[in-house]
Amino acid sequence: MSGGDSSPRRRRAEASSHALGTPGVVRRPSVPTALLVGLGAAGVAASFTAPVAAAGFTATLATLAGTVLVAGLLNHLLVSGRELPPAVTESVYTAFASAAENVVAERGLSEHRVYIPASGRSSARLVVPATSADPLQRDWEANDAVGPDDAVFTPTGEPLYRSFRRTRTPADATDPERTLSRLGDALDNGFELVDGVAVTAEDGEAAVSFEACVLPDADRIDHPVPSFLAVGFAREFGRPVVVDSVRSNTDSSGAVELRW
């Protein structure tokens, strides 16, 4: 699919650099959203207090708080069907990504990004392993699968997938390409985060390309586009999925490579 030069999402992607001057639509947040944003804001504030900073938890707490803030913002704006200034979501996601990247760098973690479905496929986690060993060789169902040196985050794609599930039932999880195509269609025609998606999948690997991504820097940690694809695949198939690479181009197009 391709929206061409007249695509609304292409125009939104191109306008993101000056969107701060464009007023958005503001509505009263739901109670869950208010709680998410409130907890996130409290966590960010607490991360800069002397006792917490002295205990060495500043980066981790700020990252977790950022995850909550991003989840709240996505829940309130992206899944509401309302227009929003791209720069608003971009600035919040950038803050979260910076904090998460700082944690990964400070702790010397690997470059792997593996999305793990919880028991019963009720949710998913993003794990950044401490070691560079292939994460798919690890028994993620074991009680001690996640070690104390690994970093665990709530994916930004989790609230998006929950919204997706409210309107679409899971497909028969036997065709990875069809599953990713459904998820890509939701990114395009549902959440309107991208303008077009193309999927190829074979032998435990897939490539998902997209155009006119509204949020830039898709190659940063847990960007909502690759995060939603990975969370959705992990939850519908009930197996870990690794985001091997993400390409982000200057024209707002890009591609995600997944492995399971």
- Each residue's pLDDT, cut to its tens digit, for the chain (260 residues) gives 444 455 655 655 655 533 333 333 334 444 444 444 444 544 444 444 444 344 444 445 445 555 555 555 555 555 455 555 556 667 778 888 888 899 899 999 999 999 999 876 789 999 999 999 999 999 999 988 999 999 999 898 998 898 898 888 766 678 999 999 999 999 999 988 998 899 999 999 999 999 999 988 999 999 999 999 999 999 999 999 999 999 999 999 999 999 99
Distance of alpha carbon 212 from alpha carbon 197, whole angstroms? 10
Q: What is the pLDDT of residue 9?
A: 59
**This prediction's pTM:** 0.74
Residue among 248, 222, 179 nearest 74 (CA): 222
Q: Calculate the alpha carbon distances from 53 to 57, 59, 64 in Å.
A: 6, 9, 15
Which positions ≥6 away from 256 have C-beta within 8 Å? 207, 208, 209, 210, 218, 225, 226, 229, 243, 245, 246, 247
Q: Are 153 and 125 in contact (CB under 8 A)?
A: yes
- Evaluate the CA torsion angle 57, 111, 91, 36 in order and state its sign: negative
146-152, long-range: CB within 8 Å, 24+ apart, which pairs? 146/116, 149/107, 149/109, 150/109, 151/100, 151/103, 151/104, 151/107, 151/109, 151/127, 152/125, 152/126, 152/127, 152/128
